[in-house]
Structure formats: structure tokens, C-alpha cells
Amino acid sequence: MNNNSSTAGNDALAGMSLAAVAAKIRDGSVTSVQLTQACLTRIRIYSPKLDAFITVMTERALAQAAQLDAEASAGRFRGPLHGVPIALKDNIDTAGTRTTAASALFEDRVPTEDAPVTARLIAAGAVIIGKTNLHEFAMGAGEASFWGPTRNPWNLALNPGGSSSGSGAAVAADLCYGALGTDTAGSIRHPAAYCSTVGLKATFGLVPIRGIAPLTVCLDHCGPLTRTVEDTAIMLNTLAGYDRLDFTSVDHPKEDYVAALSQPVAGFKLGVPVGYDSWDPEIAAAVNEATDLLAGMTQGTQQVTLPSTNDFTIATLGYAGETYAWHKDYFHNAPGKYTLANRRRLQASSEAEGAAVDYIRAKWGLDLLRRSIDDAFGTADLLVLATMRQMPPVINEMLERIRNPKPANPRQFSNCAPFNAFGLPALSLPCGFSKSGLPISLMIVGKRFAEGKVLALGQAYEKATQWHTRKPPLTPQTVKPAVMEI
């Protein structure tokens, strides 16, 4: 086989869905070592262009793969993830492998214990191939990392979404078959939308967040980014479950989310939330077209009015309370270890440290909101709306705003954050492309613990379209543009 044929074969293998390669491992037509080597080959070529990984766990991943192949040869399969390479956002602890949260503060930090989500993936047979880049401590949209910002695989000059920027880029660029991200105001769904992958933030408390560097605990979620809705359901089956040592964890009865994909969607009633429109005309057109298609597959759409979440934001609950509480000692001892944008945020939080009463009142309001939010759906089963309100910004323009701060734009660039406050399951999936070839995504939201319905509608839409099959225009010759230093 010539080199071009070998490269094409490797790329084809790395570009398959998680479900497809899992089936190949099960029938013996491919090995975990082959899958891992295929991903590692693409990581060597494309991660330096994307800055998608902070740590690539080459030796450990190959050793894991070899062990899992031995188990498969003996007829022992741990489940659908057996032998499949998965990446983890680098704020998620991995025992014996550094976990940095993309900060100089944790440059050499090596945890001694796996986060529960890490342990669950390993127990299920996933090969942990590496730790992905992110916005430092998940405090932004992906532009600020000690290791430099991750690039968007559809255009390397653009932001890939954040804070789980490396996870979104790695999945979209076929560097792994799935990845974990975290989501406090949209940080799984932003990169899913901008990189054209599937991303799920489940109901608050369904997936444990212990062992993950927090941003705002009462808004934090952990979840998968994948290439298809089925792949997301497979990963959620492993990730979901009670952790008694995680005070955010909810003891919810075990569900089979893969089985839930087969439920009919024709009886679903859809809601379109008022005030969640996109202000980019290309996004609006694509999402309207997707909504019309979904309306024809279900009982149609109706307008829904959701309660305000203005009192329950990262600024209210996070920087004014939970975020600073976690960082206080680190920031006091080594403020220079933080990137410029985060130094400013934490400094402002330190000056408002006495605002405990405001935080407590906001937290009481958040708890009440989550108890009653399902009522706002009315007769609707699910909500459909745009994930993002604007196309990906230029990285250098984002960095320039850090260097020379300006008043914030009052228009929200995303529709994601309210659903962190509501604690509802929210799925982002591809629904089109702009004229310039940039991804556009749709968000499907369910009531508390309605992940099965969310995923079923997502897969029904995915099967009726082909948006998820497009690949970024990356080649080994793609030039990586420079970004400014701050």
C-alpha cells in the first residue's frame, strides 16, 4: 500500500462515528490499537495547527488499547466504549497525568485520583487518549489559555467556541471519537455549535462534577461532545449516575438513553421560546428551516415564554461567590499565574468579597426556579431554538478586547446560559452552514431528566439531514495564522 492510500485509510478510520468503530471492535474487524494509532497519527499532524491538546497520553493510551484488545480476544467486552479513544477536557482529573485547567498555576499539577467521570469511562473500556485545551479555568469563550487559544477547524483564524474549545475541535477534526467538556454558561454547546459536532449538557446533577476544577458549582455541568446523537447517547449511558460524594449529584433512576433513541417523535409538541432569536440572518434562516422540518415531523410548534434568568448568571453566582471562593487562596498567593482576563475578573471579585447576602439570596432564587421551570413549557414537550446568535469571532479580535477592554456588548452572543440556570437538558447539533462555510447549530431543550426525548428528536432530525456528515477543510498543508500575545 502506498503512503497516500495508507493516509486515506487512516483518515477514514479516524473519521468514523463512535458507534461504528465500537461495532467493528465487537466483530473483530478492527482493534483498539489500530483506532488509537489512527487518532494519534492525526493528533501529530493536526493538533499543532489547532492547539487542541495540552497533553497527549500516547504511551498510556497504547497500553490501555493493548490490554483492551487482549480482553476482546478473550471474549470479554466492557460495553460499547470498549477500546474507543476518548479525550478529556483538561480541567477533569486523571490520576497520574497532569491536569492543568489551561493555567500556569497548575502547569505541573498531577492528580492522584480520577474524577468519577474519568473512572466511569475507563471502567467502560474507553481509551483516554489525551487532555484537551480550554479557556483557563473555563472562565471564558476559549481565547485565553496558558498554551495558546484553540483554533476553529473550519477556519483557523476563528474561535472554536469555549470554554471546551479543544474538545470541540478534536472531535470535529477526527482526533478522537468523543470528548468530555464542561458547561457553566454554554461551554459544551458553544464549541459543538462552532465546530459542527453534537454536544449535550444533561440535567443538572445527572452527571457528577466531582474531580473537575469548578467555575460556578451551582451552574456547572459535564457532558459529551461527539459526531452523532447516537454517540452522545452511548457516552451518556456511562457518564450518568449518582455520586454520593458530589453534593450536586442527583439520585435519578438509571435510564438507557440508547434505547430511548427509538421512541417515536410524531407525538411530541414543540415550543419556540420567545426572545431567543438569533441576530445573525444566516443563523436565523438555517434554524427556521430546521424548525419547520421538525414541526412537520411532530405535532408542530407553539410559542413559549420562559422566566428571566438575569439574577442567576456567572456574574451573580460565580464571580461574586462560588468562583472566587474556590480560587481565593490560589489568587492571593500567585495572581501572576493567571491570564490577564482572569486576573481582572478575580481581582474584581476579591473587592466584592463581602457580597455574601446577595449570593445567598440569588442561590435561593435559583433553587426555586429549578423546581418550577417545567411549568413554563405549558403543553410543549421540548423547546427548539438556535444555539448561538452570531458566527464565530476572529481570535485576534477577542484577544484585542482583552488587551484593550471595552464596554460589553449588551446583546448576548449565545442562547445557552439560561438553561444552565434552569438546569435543563440541552443538546446542540448541526443544522446548516453559512455561505462562507461556517457551521450553524440547533438546540433542543427538554424538561428535567427528559434526556431521552431530547436525544430522540435530535436523532430524528439528524437522520433527516446530512449536516453532521460534513468535514472541516483541514489538510496537512493548512497554514496556521499567528495570534497576538497578551
Catalytic residue numbers read 89, 163, 187
Q: Is 358 exposed, middle or buried (0-12, 13-18, 19+ CB in 10 A)?
A: middle
Cα 68 to chain centroid distance, Å, stands at 26
CA dihedral 108→48→176→97, nearest 10 degrees, is: -10
Q: DSSP assignment of 49-104, as one string?
A: HHT-EEEE-HHHHHHHHHHHHHHHHTT---STTTT-EEEEETTB-BTTB---TT-G
Cα separation of 168 and 177, whole Å? 11
d(CA 124, CA 436): 40
Q: Which residues make beta-bridge pairs with 199?
A: 225, 428
Distance CA 222, CA 203 (A): 10
With contact defined as beta carbons under 8 Å apart, do 92 and 115 qualify? Answer: yes
In the chain, the amino acid numbered 295 is A
> In sequence order, what DSSP letters do the residues of 380-393 get, joined into one string?
-SEEEEESBSSPPP
Distances (CA, A) of 468 to 75, 202, 283, 463: 33, 21, 16, 9
Among the listed residues 294, 272, 275, the one whose alpha carbon sits nearest the alpha carbon of residue 378: 272
> CA 111, CA 123: separation in Å to the nearest integer?
18
**Cβ atoms of residues 174 and 14 within 8 Å:** yes
